[in-house]
Amino acid sequence: MLRWLWLAGLVVVLDQASKLWANGVLQLHRSVEIFSGLNFTLSYNAGAAFSFLASSGGWQRWFFITLAVLVSGYIIHWLRKLNRSEMSLAIALSLILGGAIGNVIDRVYLGDVVDFIDVFYLADDCLPFFGSGAVSCHWPAFNIADSAIFLGAVMLVIDSFKGRKKAQD
């Protein structure tokens, strides 16, 4: 199922092109409203999802690069072993692979991941964000690579339930 690597490549190209655009057009932390609930806001993330480990002194850059390279190698190995009937799994893995490579390119060349998609909910009374006590209606900024990873992970979960159902039948 290595034929699905084109999808990973497409994710990388779209991700890097959008980040190049964001870096060239947007100003750091200045929001540009696209429509109600969506802004483009340039930011840089030295950590992982939700800025996890972002202020850890720099070692996390190399940790996340190494982790992404190892996971990417494993995904390619997994794709090689899939049979033609596992197309949804191949698509999910290719999306995750493309997202991982897109973000690792940023880490290698910039030291941080470029984020610019800012989704939010307009309300007078927002709920605390992840129990931190800080009131926020904004989801943390993300990018196309993050979206591909998320979509691929959702597809993996759905695929795992299909596998359980087949095993029970």
Catalytic residue among 15, 106, 115, 118: 115
- Provide CB contacts within 8 A for 70, sequence distance 6+: none
Within a 10 A sphere around the Cβ of 159, how many other Cβ atoms?
17
| Neighbouring C-beta atoms of residue 168, cutoff 10 Å | 6
Segments in the chain forming alpha helices (H): 5-25, 59-81, 87-110, 144-168
Give φ, ψ of 138 to 5 degrees: -95, 135
User: Which of 155, 164, 20 has the alpha carbon at shortest distance from 94?
Assistant: 155
Annotated active-site residue in 15, 106, 118, 146: 146
Of 99, 117, 85, 75, which is closest to residue 12 (Cα–Cα)?
A: 99
Active site residue 146: yes
Active site residue 124: no
CA pair distance 39, 153, nearest whole angstrom? 25
* Residues belonging to the active site: 115, 146
